[in-house]
Structure 1
Amino acid sequence: MPNVFPAPSILNQAFAGCSAFPQRTPDVLSPPASKWTARHELYPVWSAVDDAKNKAAKLSDAAVAEFDKASSKAQVKAGAIELYSAKFYAACTVGGVMACGLTHTAVTPLDLVKCRRQVDSKMYTGNFQAWGKIFRAEGLRGVFTGWSPTFWGYSVQGGLKYGGYEFFKKFYADLVGEENFHKYKTLVYLAGSASAELIADIGLCPFEAVKVRMQTTIPPFAKTTLGGISTVTGKEGVAGLYKGLYPLWGRQIPYTMMKFASFETIVEMIYNYLPGKKSDYGKGAQTAVSFTGGYMAGILCAIVSHPADVMVSKLNANRQPGEAFGAATGRIYKDIGFRGLWNGLPVRIVMIGTLTGLQWMIYDYFKIFMGLPTTGGAPPAEEKAKA
């Protein structure tokens, strides 16, 4: 029986050119581009951006590789570090020195303006106006007035604070037992941080006294840290370096209690919200969580400790020789009133938020560098399942 359907070749000939879509054979050249069509060669920025992205990715990979290489060498040299051993606390102390010493020194220009505005709120109208005025009068060195006692003071304080916190947190956790620790862990964080800060401030106080006097006297009463210590002890004895200890405790202990307890809580909440476990996330993600938790904790720290910070600045700058602490505090409060206790708060929120976030990021990155787990984490599996 003959085939009643036409062959495919006949169909192609019959309906050629009827398709809505252009039919091109491979050997037919494409028509020339319209003059309105964008030409890639005229926009080199496209390729420049791609090149920049590729270079950034290569640099990032190289940096990670170098970090891992240096980390491996450091861990081999230090040997195995067991949690809560002497090596562990020593590593945490070094991490605290780096975290606090570097960050506080970096924000010296902010601290300078804050302290001067706390002592005299009419001295400057704003931060940029203040920096411009100081720079024109004293140069870049003037903008960083007080950096030396800041670096040494907060390096000592940071080491004792972070290393001490890890020690006292473990000490109080063992004291109450594992079951009670999970019930009352916030109280353990508060007690551990308060105990660590009580000791750390004894190391900080002499340097803080010199720093504040450098920053609030124009021109500065001393050019170097040792020169400042020598000047104070020559006029007032060693006690002159510690006359701000009580208000320093009043500022730093609530600050540190809020800093550590809120950080631990916020980080736990973040990991509880994220899918998976903390161990599922890499180094970069964990340190990003540390920075976020630290920044949020820093805002709370700034608010809680600001009135005491104002009093510390005022007492170090204006307390008369031989004047009792209570009498000096009463005199200063009478002069400035309750509203005066909040001078410079917006600046301090920005400064302390950034400072605290960077401190936790540096501290936890150093712990990773030494092969240790980062601070804080998700609650136990059974608690997370109930949440």
Structure 2
Amino acid sequence: MPHPSKGRIEPFSPTYFAACTLGGVIACGPTHTAITPLDLVKTRRQVDPKLYSSNMAGFRAIMKSSGVRGIFLGWSPTLVGYSLQGAGKYGFYEIFKYTYGERLFPNTNKTLVYLAASASAEFFADIALCPWEALKVRMQTTVPPYAHTLREGLRRAFREEGVRGLYKGIYPLWGRQIPYTMVKFATFEKAVEQIYKFMGKPKDSYTSIQQTGVSFLGGYIAGIGAAVVSHPADVMVSELNSHRKPGEGALSAVSRLYGNIGFKGLWNGLPVRIVMIGTLTGLQWLIYDTFKVYLGLPTTGGH
């Protein structure tokens, strides 16, 4: 496939932001779907730490009872939800970063711009993600499964709760995802900047392959920090989507569930999530910036 000519897309034009949005879809949807088996075991262990003695025990138990199909339970809402979230996360981030940093507050500290832009982007991205995340968690944490397919899950959710029921986890989702994304994007930008400083030459002096390698390393570093910051909220999202009582308010549910699991319970599954999110975030930045390079656009960060 021919490579588009350099400079074909004008920076910060509507086409540029549309390209970044598409890049977010490509970066997030397939990567989250690929790690569905790891996410399945992690989510089940968060909700019931006694269910499996280890991650490998979880994989073996699921494979024995349900085969390969069982290991990928929840892949369809994962693909739809995180494709939509990726569109909002990356597309709106580029829009808000330009709006805040170049137009509204051009002399503001860059880190503050990264934090504000990523928080703003994730707020909207989570509105798109929430119903699909709710379906995914319900499918993965209930036995027998809440549903086996996306269509079956949607029909049951609309029949029993309506659209509102699929958004009952929006507040804890914001609580998980907004700090996560703020750390993910701000740490990535600063990590890439420091990597180029350590390497001793300007970013533009390196090849596109070398630059995307820096993006992967910066993304992995950012993913580790983001995983730790957001993990307690990730556990609570899983608990709420699995064990919230009908008609129970969000604060009441959080208080009751926290009473059941305690502070220690908020950290169930952290090691596997660090590996999962570190690798996932590194791959997402690699894919995202590779796509930008393909379109003739510069990689993210390092300026």
TM-score calculated relative to the size of structure 1: 0.77
Q: In the alignment, what sits opposite 2:2?
A: 70
Q: In the alignment, what sits opposite 1:151?
A: 79
The yes-or-no answer on 1:324 pairing with 2:249 is: yes
Q: 1:250 aligns with which of 175, 184, 192?
A: 175
Q: CA deviation at 1:177?
A: 4.1
The yes-or-no answer on 1:359 pairing with 2:291 is: no
Q: 2:137 aligns with which of 212, 217, 223?
A: 212
- Whether the 8 Å contact between 1:229 and 1:241 is mirrored in structure 2 is no
Q: CA deviation at 1:70?
A: 2.9
Q: In the alignment, what sits opposite 2:190?
A: 265
Q: In the alignment, what sits opposite 2:53?
A: 125
Letter in 2 for 1:232: A
Q: CA deviation at 1:176?
A: 4.5
Q: What is the DSSP-based 3-state SS (H/G/I as helix, E as strand, rest coil) of the residue aligned with 2:2?
A: helix
Q: Take 1:147 and 1:185, find their aligned partners in 2: how far apart are those partners?
A: 37
Q: What CA deviation, in whole Å up to 9, does each residue of 1:133-181 have, x standing for no partner?
A: 1001000000011011000000000011100000000010134543x13
Gaps of 5+ in 2: none
Q: In the alignment, what sits opposite 2:164?
A: 239
Q: Which runs of 4+ in 1 moved over 3 A?
A: 175-178
Q: Take 1:247 and 1:342, find their aligned partners in 2: how far apart are those partners?
A: 16
Ranked by relative contact order (alpha carbons within 8 Å, sequence separation 6 or more), the top structure is 2
Q: Take 2:2 and 2:78, find their aligned partners in 1: how far apart are those partners?
A: 29
Q: 1:274 aligns with which of 199, 208, 218?
A: 199
Q: In the alignment, what sits opposite 2:124?
A: 199
More moved, 366-375 vs 275-284? 275-284
Q: What CA deviation, in whole Å up to 9, does each residue of 1:33-63 have, x standing for no partner?
A: xxxxxxxxxxxxxxxxxxxxxxxxxxxxxxx
Q: Take 2:221 and 2:37, find their aligned partners in 1: how far apart are those partners?
A: 22
Q: CA deviation at 1:271?
A: 0.7
TM-score calculated relative to the size of structure 2: 0.98
- Whether the 8 Å contact between 1:205 and 1:242 is mirrored in structure 2 is yes
Q: What is the DSSP-based 3-state SS (H/G/I as helix, E as strand, rest coil) of the residue aligned with 1:222?
A: coil
Q: What is the DSSP-based 3-state SS (H/G/I as helix, E as strand, rest coil) of the residue aligned with 1:71?
A: coil
The yes-or-no answer on 1:142 pairing with 2:67 is: no
- Listed as ranges, the matches of 1:1-387 within 5 Å are 69-72=1-4, 80-178=8-106, 180-181=107-108, 184-378=109-303
- Whether the 8 Å contact between 1:206 and 1:229 is mirrored in structure 2 is no
Q: In the alignment, what sits opposite 1:37?
A: none
How many residues matched? 303
Letter in 2 for 1:341: L
- Whether the 8 Å contact between 1:236 and 1:321 is mirrored in structure 2 is no
Gaps of 5+ in 1: 1-68, 379-387
Percent identity reads 62
